Amino acid sequence: MDPTLAGGDTENESEKNEDQNEATSEISESPESVSLCDTSAEKATEGSDTDLEVEDPQKTFVGTTGAELYLEACRLMEVVPVSYFIQNMAKSYINLNHYGLGPKGVKAIAIALVSNECVTHLELEDNCMLAEGAICIAEMLRENSTLQELNISNNHLDTAGAEAIANLLLDNMSFLHTIQLSGNNFGEESALYFSEALMSNFQVKELDLSHNEFSEKGGQLLGQMLDSNSKLEILDLSWNHLRRKGTVALGKGLRGNGALKILNLSWNGIGNEGANALGEVLKANDMLVHLDISNNQINNEGAKKLCRGLEANEKLRILKIAGNPLTTEGATALVLSIRKNSKSMMEEINISNVLVNKTFIKLLDLVYQIRPELNVIYGEVEGCITTMPEQHPDPMKVIQNYLKERNLQLWDFFRKIDEEGNMKIPVAAFRRAMMQHPSIPMDRIQIGELVHKLDRNRTGVVDYSHFKKQKHVEEE
């Protein structure tokens, strides 16, 4: 093999790439290309060369870097190079989602990234990489010291792929702090691998295991992991099958966890028993700030059990419990639990599907007076669905009139509210300031509209930095 093949004749290589690109559609329909998605994980691990040492890398890739290395890897793998990847290898973010790479195409990518020092965030979702591709990615990450965020969701990794990734995490060999593994057919055996790996992992802070098949045993294993893990801050287990017993087992590990801040357990069928377990968690846990238990068959009884934890908790800020069969009774219990807890930090309760009554609205108005930072998102109000909604003055016009009367600019208004002085105000702090402003007559509905305008992407922060530029233009 000529070691300078990948970079020896640039013009000929360019012409060959153009011919390959023209023939891409034909190649993608070839039997070899189609068969990549049909290859089983067992065949991938046993019947093919899955490590990155293609022939002798010292000879094969000598003198080649970047695009040349990738092109040579593609030639050896017999796959068509992805021009987008070549063009973006020097950037920090690369999105190769839905490219149909298959295990061989992913292997070529992995070879090219072994020594790459630019890419920090790589998206490889839905590429049918199978376990073979996951093994190649894992081996690459043992050498790469730059990649920090990886998305390999929906790739049919199955148990063998889970084992490869988990072994990487177990050895603490990568620099990954965010990894998305949604929709990869991970079951109970995979839960064992991840549980063992993350008990001693000190790098991963965000993990997405949603849309998999973890059930009761998986909840127990992941709960044991959470009892020991001291680094994981965000965990998404939505759309699994934890059910009641799995959530109870998970809760045991959560009680003493000192790291997890965001937990998504939506669409797990946890029911009232699961809600009760999480209520017990909230009594003891002093780290969790965001809990999503939407669409979990929790009724008023379950909500009341959860409230026992909310009455004692001092950290939780966001509770999403929409899509459950709650009525005004359950909604009232949730709001009262926050009212009773003088140390509660709650900023948002989402019960957006619940039909409430006017009595609930009156209660909410009273609670808002003492907890102005709170935002409860509910459904319609009984008896008001068919009537015309009450008209409120545009909140921005109210502020502009206030400023005009005092000869002030919008920048000055926001600057006075911003305690930190970094041109970004947390939504809760903004709500509190607006509710308590002595000279601006706004109700909670107007303030809600204002927040929606100023934080359209639901970041939880009002960014008013653009008003500074506007002020400079006006001054000039």
What was the pLDDT predicted at 424?
87
What was the pLDDT predicted at 391?
63
Shared domain for 339 and 262, answered yes or no, is yes
The total number of structural domains in the chain stands at 2
**Any domain includes 65:** no
Contact 268, 246 (CB under 8 A): yes
**Any domain includes 422:** yes
Walk along the chain (476 residues) and give the pLDDT tens digit of each residue: 333 333 344 444 444 444 444 434 333 333 333 333 333 333 333 434 445 644 444 344 444 568 999 999 999 999 999 999 999 999 999 999 999 999 999 999 999 999 999 999 999 999 999 999 999 999 999 999 999 999 999 999 999 999 999 999 999 999 999 999 999 999 999 999 999 999 999 999 999 999 999 999 999 999 999 999 999 999 999 999 999 999 999 999 999 899 999 999 999 999 999 999 999 999 999 999 999 999 999 999 999 999 999 999 999 999 999 999 999 999 999 999 999 999 999 999 999 999 999 999 999 999 998 999 999 999 999 876 554 455 667 888 888 888 888 888 887 788 888 878 888 888 888 888 888 887 787 877 788 888 888 888 878 888 888 776 555 444 44
Q: Which residue has the tokens 């990487």?
A: 168
| CB-count exposure of residue 250 (10 Å: 0-12, 13-18, 19+) | buried
> What is the CATH classification number for the domain harbouring 424?
1.10.238.10
**Any domain includes 61:** no
Our CA angle for 127, 128, 132, nearest 5°, is 115
> Which pair of tokens denotes residue 320?
């999403």
Which element (helix H / strand E) includes 198? helix 188-199
Shared domain for 185 and 313, answered yes or no, is yes
What was the pLDDT predicted at 468?
63
d(CA 139, CA 438): 61
**Any domain includes 3:** no
Shared domain for 207 and 146, answered yes or no, is yes
Which one of 378, 410, 431 terminates a domain? 378
Shared domain for 218 and 299, answered yes or no, is yes
> What Å distances lie between residue 23 and 9, 123, 128, 156, 265, CA to CA?
21, 25, 21, 27, 45
Shared domain for 315 and 403, answered yes or no, is no
**The domain containing residue 454 runs over which residues?**
395-475
What was the pLDDT predicted at 385?
52
> What is the CATH classification number for the domain harbouring 139?
3.80.10.10
Shared domain for 117 and 211, answered yes or no, is yes
Which one of 353, 378, 403 terminates a domain? 378
**Any domain includes 146:** yes
Q: Which residue has the tokens 């699994």?
A: 240
* DSSP line for 89-103: TTSSEEE-TT---HH
- Please tell me the pTM assigned to this model: 0.81
Shared domain for 215 and 323, answered yes or no, is yes
Beta strands at 93-95 and 121-123: parallel, antiparallel or unpaired: parallel
Shared domain for 253 and 289, answered yes or no, is yes
Q: What are the respective helix, strand and coil percentages of the chain, to the nearest 5? A: 50, 10, 40
**Any domain includes 19:** no
**Any domain includes 348:** yes
**Any domain includes 312:** yes
Shared domain for 350 and 300, answered yes or no, is yes
Shared domain for 161 and 252, answered yes or no, is yes
Shared domain for 113 and 257, answered yes or no, is yes
Contact 298, 271 (CB under 8 A): yes
What was the pLDDT predicted at 458?
78
What was the pLDDT predicted at 59?
43
Shared domain for 323 and 236, answered yes or no, is yes
Which one of 311, 346, 378 terminates a domain? 378
Buried b (16+ CB within 10 A) or exposed e, 166-179: bbbbbeebbebbbb
